Every structure is written in C-alpha cells, then in structure tokens.
C-alpha cells in the first residue's frame, strides 16, 4: 500500500509570497493532519481535516489555511510568507479521528528568503 | 497544560550498549501514546502505540513500555542504523487527531 505523499518536496520562496503544499493520504484514510517542524519548536500541530471539514486547529495565525477534497487529498496554504515560516511541513493521515495511528509523509521543506 | 517531555535530549552509545529513553506526559485520561523514529530530513516513521499502563510492545531491538505518567523506549544492543531522533506524542484532552510531541531524543550509535 502506498504511503503518504507530499508535493513538492522542496520550496524556496521570498517574504510576502504565498505557497500551497499538497498531501495525498494513504488509500482509505479519511483524516489528514498538518504539522510544522522547526529546530527550536519541534513538531507543532497546525490543523486537522476529516470529511472535507476542518475539525481542529492549532495555535497558528490565519495566514495558515487548508482544505480537504472529496478524495481526502489535502492542501495547505500559507499567505504573506515570513522568514519564520521556514520549516519542514509534515502531513499525516489516519483512518479516523480518535486514537488512530497517524502515518507521516516525507514532508515539504520550505525555505523563505 | 498538556505537556510531553523527553529525556535525554541527546544520547551517544557504543554499538551493543543498551539504554533507555524517557517520555513523561501530563495529559489526563490518556488516549494513547505514540513512538516515532525520525531520520534527518524525513518524516516520522511510526513505531508503537501504547494505550494502558503496563502495556509493552517490541520490535527488533526496541521495546516500549507505559506507566501512568511516563513511557520508556528500551534499546537493546543497538546498532549504528538505530541512530535517529526518537519522538513520543500524545493526543491532548480533546477529540481529534492532533498530537502533542516531545522535542525528541537524538540517538547516536557508533561502531
């Protein structure tokens, strides 16, 4: 069974630009969560989508948004990029929402110059 | 506040030198504790899920155990390929798949 895939794997943007990251979950998984990983803060939860609805949101500004499509694929958008947004963005999928194991993709490395 | 704390931050072992990593948590009503392994520049790889105190799970040289306030990841006779960052995570006290991660323990095993 194919794992979680994320595209692109690497991105370089400049301050003020916006970016869209894509995530395809494991086949049959309906829940997709996004995390930001930085050396200083570690892994931090961004948001969770289930059945095309955002069910949970972490403590990030409104510049961070996302959506989920009917096939469970998800996209994450960051507008007005700041230097501090440079990070590894990870997508994880799980079958459902409660205590199901999350499986992570390889991540998208975003660098903001 | 829900918190996950891992110790030590870094651990250097010689090949064959067994040790343990610690993960302590403050979440009440634990709905699961997850261990992941992460190699540099890659996404976390799932290792174990533990649900109740006293539970143990093993995989090759790794064994995870759980008590009411902490979990241990025991590494027996490690090899250089076990070098990685080991992360533990718990769901907070709310529904959903959000996980609170510890900062991780970076393990280096030299031959």
| Residue A47 to chain B, least CA–CA distance (Å) | 7
Is A98's pLDDT higher than 70?
Answer: no
For residue B105, the 8-state DSSP code is E
Residue A108: its pLDDT value, please?
98
The verdict on B30 touching A (C-beta cutoff 8 Å) is: no
Residue A94, helix vs strand vs coil: strand
Can you tell me the distance from the alpha carbon of A44 to that of B99, in angstroms, rounded to the nearest whole number?
8
- The model's pLDDT over A37-95, given as tens digits with 9 standing for 90+, comes to 999 889 999 999 999 999 989 999 999 999 999 999 999 999 999 999 999 999 999 99
Which residues in chain B touch residue A102, judged by CB atoms under 8 angstroms apart? 34, 46, 97, 99
Which residues in chain B touch residue A92, judged by CB atoms under 8 angstroms apart? 97
- Where residue A19 falls (left for φ over 0; alpha for ψ -120 to 50; beta otherwise) is beta
Which chain A residue has its CA at the smallest distance from B97's CA?
A97
The verdict on B41 touching A (C-beta cutoff 8 Å) is: yes
Given an 8 Å threshold on Cβ–Cβ distance, is A104 in contact with B97?
no
Which of A7, A24, A45, A68 is the mutation pick for testing B, counting most B CBs within 10 A? A45
Average pLDDT over residues B27-38: 90
Can you tell me the distance from the alpha carbon of A81 to that of B60, in angstroms, rounded to the nearest whole number?
43
Residue B1: its pLDDT value, please?
77
């Amino acid at each position: 069974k194919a794992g979680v895939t994320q595209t692109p794997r690497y991105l370089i943007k400049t301050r003020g630009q916006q970016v869209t990251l894509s995530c395809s979950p494991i086949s049959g998984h309906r829940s997709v969560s996004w995390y930001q990983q930085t050396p200083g803060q570690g892994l931090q939860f961004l948001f969770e989508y289930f059945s095309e609805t955002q069910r949970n949101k972490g403590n990030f500004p409104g510049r961070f948004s996302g959506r989920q499509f009917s096939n469970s694929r998800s996209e994450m958008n960051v507008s007005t990029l700041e230097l501090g947004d440079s990070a590894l963005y990870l997508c994880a999928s799980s079958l459902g929402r409660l205590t199901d194991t999350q499986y992570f993709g390889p991540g998208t490395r975003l660098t903001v110059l | 506040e829900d918190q996950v704390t891992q110790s030590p931050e870094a651990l250097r072992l010689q090949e064959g030198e067994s040790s343990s990593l610690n993960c302590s948590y403050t979440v009440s009503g634990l709905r699961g504790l997850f261990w992941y392994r992460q190699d540099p520049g890659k996404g976390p790889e799932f290792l174990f899920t533990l649900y109740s105190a006293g539970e143990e799970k093993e995989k090759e040289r790794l064994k995870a155990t759980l008590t009411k306030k902490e979990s241990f990841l025991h590494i027996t006779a490690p090899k250089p390929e076990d070098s990685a960052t080991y992360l533990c995570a718990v769901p907070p006290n709310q529904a959903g798949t959000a996980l609170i991660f510890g900062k991780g323990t970076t393990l280096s095993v030299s031959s």
